Amino acid sequence: MQLFGLKACDTCRKALKQLPEAELVDVRADGVPEAILTAALAQFGDRLVNTRSTTWRGLSEAERAGEPLDLLKAHPALMKRPLIKSGDDLHLGWDAKTKAALGVEG
């Protein structure tokens, strides 16, 4: 299981604590493999881009209008976190639905 996120992200740390078998992939340092990014974009669409982040607020209108895949490649911290790859399944965020799908209580 891989958890794509940021070391400093509180939500990612909470998820890691409850998923001890997960490996953290820091998206700023290591990026997200294009195949996973493409699959996540196909599955989650615009929800994959975190439009409430400080990174998003720092972008110009022209940059915001760009293709989501290009934006996420150029600014990995724009991705909503965490993105969890468990086998062939992808999960976005750390909410009750994701926890239930991964068999985590709470």
- Phi, psi dihedral angles at 21 (to 5 degrees): -85, -10
Query: ∠33-41-15 over CA atoms, to 5°?
Result: 70
- Phi, psi dihedral angles at 102 (to 5 degrees): -95, 0
From first CA to last CA, the distance across the chain in angstroms is 19
Is 9 annotated in the active site?
Answer: yes
CA 61 to chain centre: 22
Q: Which of 3, 6, 9, 22 is catalytic?
A: 9
Angstrom distance (rounded) from CA 58 to CA 53: 9
Please identify every residue annotated as catalytic. 9
